[in-house]
Chain A
């Protein structure tokens, strides 16, 4: 398990930014997630070795943050906000629609490995609730029809 040469360049740049290596832990975990798809125990140990940290300490940090995926996720990670504003605007219904269309429950991945469905906390876009995030993109003011269209556009 190793980072790509481009990722290693990024790591070097990050390390030069901080007085101690440990400070670069969070961004390195993000890189690990991007490079390996999710943050496994092996990925944690690898990041630990890059930063001269004990692997258990890295594990403590990576499990603290829910945005590091501890399990493999599908090609598209569908994250629906179910915090208060979105819930008031019908997030529960959105989740139900997604469950029906994808045939999975939150926390699960479709058999073809294409979609993973998650419920998440406030995405900081309450003004356009209900909201979901697929990989790095936001989808706002969701309705059932919109969901059909969005999912249909994902290859």
Chain B
């Protein structure tokens, strides 16, 4: 490990770091624009200049890699002056329209200019301008005037998305980032939305979020995306019980810096018109006590063999535990349905998105709630007279239910627990309005077996309640004696099972990778 000195502080840093990352490890921030740890080095913006003994000229920290004995200075007169000059230069054509720019408040250009700029410009000429607000595919809007030519967008599409749709056009003062849909390339990739965070200024903004609110007005809750089994780490940015946007949260073991655009944009169901407004019994509004008592009563009426619990894999691990306990109390089975074409180790695209479009398939498996192929036959044959159907709104469960839709809707004692209306909730004897993931606490287990925490951003909408509480009441109503009264109790009870599965999957994946590597060698 090389020993280096930064601003007089001696430290030992990992091999292969550049000076920006090395300085970061001891809490020194070197401002930069074009450098991003996920992208190739271009050394283009010159914002990261530092002094490196004994070289007389300033060096770019992004493209200088640590070597034993290096002496680096980031706070000398010379560096400070250079930063001022670079900031002035970068702002020559920049419109400085922060008051109407979405990026304001979380903008590298604004922050660096505030911290390292000189506060005035000697540029008196006309700024060059372009036509504004050009759509880049369906999801982004480009304001070329604001662009500082860092080329992060170009490199992101080239290197990460591996679909080169952005390029620079013309040269010098006229250089403009240009999206080009040529030779069948489509601008709408599964990952375009990441430009929202990646662009260091407000040149590429997210259509979905534009002009909705200021970022500093939003609360940021750490959570996990529920839309596929990758389980990308996210921030839910919300205000007044409403989600405004979803952003990636860095986790190098899961999603690195990115999320897919589905996870970013598809949260409308949390606030949709079709959210189930309140509990219902036989189609009529009911209070919670009546609905829960009726449901618990119904579940016991037709005997264990004609009763079943069918659960989507969007349930948290803690909810799944209660489902198991409820099933045990009723003596019936708890299962999911096999989803067509889901292989837990097969990627759906090269980056993050997976074929398994449910959040917690592995967690349910660890707790013994697995797809039951016989259940579909029992449902269509009319053998099931009482069914607790949990979250048929989930796309994967909805697809699996497709063939038995009518049969399920006709089940006499159908109890539906869900957050949005479906054909099933409309036909159910009892409807229990549950929560969406943003309204829940608990854990999901991703496809790699990693157990990840989701945190409640805000309370369930309207009269809805958390699924955990509803299941707890049902289980108690069915006569079960349940010790775990909170999601934390429940987690502690299943922790060992979950961690065992995680270790197992890790081994499986390693074995698969080894086999693949050997196959490649041979």
Contacts and interface: CB of A to CB of B under 8 A. Distances in A.
Nearest to B163: A54
A55 interface: yes
Interface stretch (A15-23, A57-65, A78-86, A103-111): A57-65
B182 interface: yes
Interface stretch (B166-174, B195-203, B222-230, B281-289): B166-174
B44 to A, nearest CB: 14
A45 interface: yes
Interface residues on B, range: 10 to 19
A26 B418 CA distance: 61
A41 interface: yes
B101 interface: no
A128 interface: no
A11 to B, nearest CB: 18
Contact of A64 (B165, B166, B170, B182): B170
Contacts, number: 44
Q: Which 5 A-B pairs have the closest CB atoms?
A: A55-B182, A60-B167, A54-B164, A56-B167, A56-B180
Given A54-B164, A64-B171, A59 B182 contact: yes
B155 to A, nearest CB: 12
Contacts of B189: none
B161 to A, nearest CB: 12
A56 B164 contact: yes
A48 interface: yes
Nearest to A53: B164
Nearest to A61: B167
Interface centre among B168, B171, B180 (most CB of A within 10 A): B180
Given A45-B183, A60-B167, A60-B178, 11 more contacts: A49-B183, A54-B182, A54-B183, A55-B180, A55-B183, A55-B185, A56-B167, A56-B185, A57-B164, A59-B180, A60-B168
Nearest to B181: A56
Nearest to B170: A63
B183 A48 contact: yes
A48 B183 CA distance: 9
Interface centre among A41, A56, A60 (most CB of B within 10 A): A56
Given A54-B164, A64-B170, A59 B183 contact: no
B178 A59 contact: yes
Contacts of B167: 56-57, 59-60
Contacts of A49: 183
A59 B164 contact: no
Interface centre among B164, B167, B168, B185 (most CB of A within 10 A): B167
Interface string B217-259: 0000000000000000000000000000000000000000000
A34 to B, nearest CB: 22
Interface in B136-182: 158, 164-171, 178-180, 182
B182 A45 contact: yes
A44 B167 CA distance: 13
A45 B167 CA distance: 14
B182 A60 contact: no
Contacts of B166: 56
Given A63-B170, A64-B170, A41 B164 contact: no
